[in-house]
Amino acid sequence: MRRASLPLLAGALLLTGCDRPPPEQEARSIDADNPLELAARERGVVRPDAAEPTGVFERAHELGRDALCVVPDGAGRWRFAVSAAFGTGFSCRASGSVAREGDGWRFTFAGVEDCSVVLREEEDELRLPGSLPSQCDSLCPGRASLAGLRLPRASWSVADAKRLQMRDEEGNNTRPCAD
């Protein structure tokens, strides 16, 4: 009896997968106008179809928190603010503009002439190059640098980016990406 039931069980399991559409067809069947889908995209829970840098990138570590917010700033343009912690009272803050460049994003730092880098989002993480142009040395105090900074994406939401708080030079919480 056991030998006969094993093939029957295997056959039943194979048939249960017959109703399931192929993955590519399933992806096409998402109702973009569904209120739950809209709410999930609005909150940054589900990745939108359009590839934009908008959102929050953030990482907590033993020395503090690194964070970056990006918000739209006109057609095909964005602005950003970044903060990296290097221990108690020692951090680096910068801001600037973002524009599409090839398959990446050119981040141009404000207040520092010719200081810009091309970043790519890989596996929902922005990675700054291991070395920055020498013009960017003045972005951070002392020997600190934004070089090699890795920031996982926390949200695709404009609202979250505008609400993101960072500490300023005096230690006060600010919202640098708010309007």
pTM: 0.72
pLDDT in tens, 66-122: 999 999 999 999 999 999 998 877 789 999 999 999 888 999 999 999 999 999 888
d(CA 151, CA 149): 7
Burial of 165 (0-12, 13-18, 19+ CB in 10 A): middle
Q: For residue 12, what is the enclosing H or E element?
A: helix 2-16
| DSSP 8-state symbol, 138 | G
**Which residues on neighbouring strands pair with residue 104, listed in sequence order?**
101
pLDDT band at 56 (very low <50, low <70, confident <90, very high): very high
What structural domains and CATH numbers belong to the chain? 2-43 (no CATH), 55-174 (2.40.128)
**pLDDT band (50, 70, 90) for residue 4:** low
How would residue 26 be classed by pLDDT, with cut points 50, 70 and 90? very low
Residue 24 is inside which H or E element, if any?
helix 23-28
